[in-house]
């Protein structure tokens, strides 16, 4: 979705008049981007990730079919619905477009109301999918990503850091003596602690690429792209100190101090590296931090 809060549409057509007409039809309801050829369309789509693409077929150099295939073969743009808008009004071309996987097919000359309705239908689907994806990848108690979301993210970052030959670090964090806290204050107050820890973690991270997720129970995971082990340890200690020095307000105005133990590891992934072993190393480091007295960070190099 565009920064304005509106859904967004990319119009791709080599005729300026068509871009102007479609922008006039859709510009009031959506943020509109435009491209005059297939190559520019691919670049704009990758940069802005529009919610829907309106794509002409007959264009110079790269036609609409080729542009479609390139967009669908790119991991960044493959899920964007594409509507062909073309003067090729015969059944064979419409069938070809839909068979490729186009979400819809509009023939020129187009009717404004039909364009609005067909784009609106695709936008509704996009927004519904976005809500479902958010619910399925978000921990409902703390509001941070859940374990499923972490698995998606670590797979993505593993592949990227392998290509770039950059380090990837992982912190696994556990709330110390959380069972005793629940036994003393009750599970509802335990939920308050989990929410507070999630907020503290989020506030402790300073880069948009850093990723925090609820790992399960009282454990959280922090994925740190382009961060070596020393950098990961600095972040881990910042998290640990922030938690320790931030009393949590629970029932009846009481406050409680909780602490966390953190396991850290780092790797520059290669074909020989195993993602499961990478996570296992962080888990072993967390166990060592707990065994050596809690409220501390322990590291194990991959």
Task: Count CA within 13 A, CB hemisphere, residue 148.
Answer: 8
| CA distances for 217 relative to 174, 181, 248, 262, angstroms | 9, 13, 18, 15
DSSP reduced 3-state for 107: strand
What residues are paired with 265 via a beta bridge? 170
Residues 6+ apart with CB under 8 A from 71: 41, 42, 45, 53, 77, 78, 80, 82
| CA distances for 50 relative to 1, 73, 103, 122, 284, angstroms | 6, 16, 14, 12, 42
Residues forming the active site: 218
């Amino acid at each position: 979705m565009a920064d304005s809060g509106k859904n967004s549409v990319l119009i791709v057509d080599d005729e300026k008049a068509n871009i102007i007409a479609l922008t006039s039809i859709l510009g009031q309801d959506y943020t509109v981007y435009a491209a005059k050829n297939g190559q520019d369309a691919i670049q704009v789509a990758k940069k802005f990730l529009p919610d829907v693409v309106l794509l002409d077929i007959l264009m110079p150099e790269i036609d609409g079919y080729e542009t479609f295939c390139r967009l669908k073969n790119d991991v960044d743009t493959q899920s964007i619905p594409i509507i062909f808008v073309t003067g090729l009004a015969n059944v064979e071309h419409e069938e070809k477009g839909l068979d490729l996987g186009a979400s819809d097919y509009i023939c020129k000359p187009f009717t404004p109301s039909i364009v609005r309705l067909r784009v609106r239908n695709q936008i509704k689907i996009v927004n519904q999918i976005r809500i479902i994806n958010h619910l399925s990848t978000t921990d409902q108690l703390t509001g941070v990503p859940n374990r499923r979301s972490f698995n998606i993210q670590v797979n993505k970052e593993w592949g990227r850091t392998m290509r770039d030959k950059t380090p990837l670090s992982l912190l696994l964090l556990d709330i110390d003596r959380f069972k005793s806290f629940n036994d003393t204050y009750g599970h509802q107050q335990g939920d308050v602690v989990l929410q507070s820890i999630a907020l503290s973690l989020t506030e402790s991270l300073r880069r948009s690429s850093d990723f925090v997720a609820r790992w399960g129970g009282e454990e959280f995971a922090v994925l740190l792209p382009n961060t070596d082990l020393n950098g990961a340890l600095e972040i881990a200690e910042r998290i640990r100190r922030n938690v320790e020095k931030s009393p949590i307000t629970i029932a009846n105005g009481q406050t409680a101090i909780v602490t966390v133990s953190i396991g850290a590891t780092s790797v520059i992934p290669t074909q020989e590296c195993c993602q499961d072993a990478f996570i296992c190393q962080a888990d072993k480091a967390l166990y060592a931090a707990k065994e050596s007295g809690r409220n501390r960070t322990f590291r194990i190099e991959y």
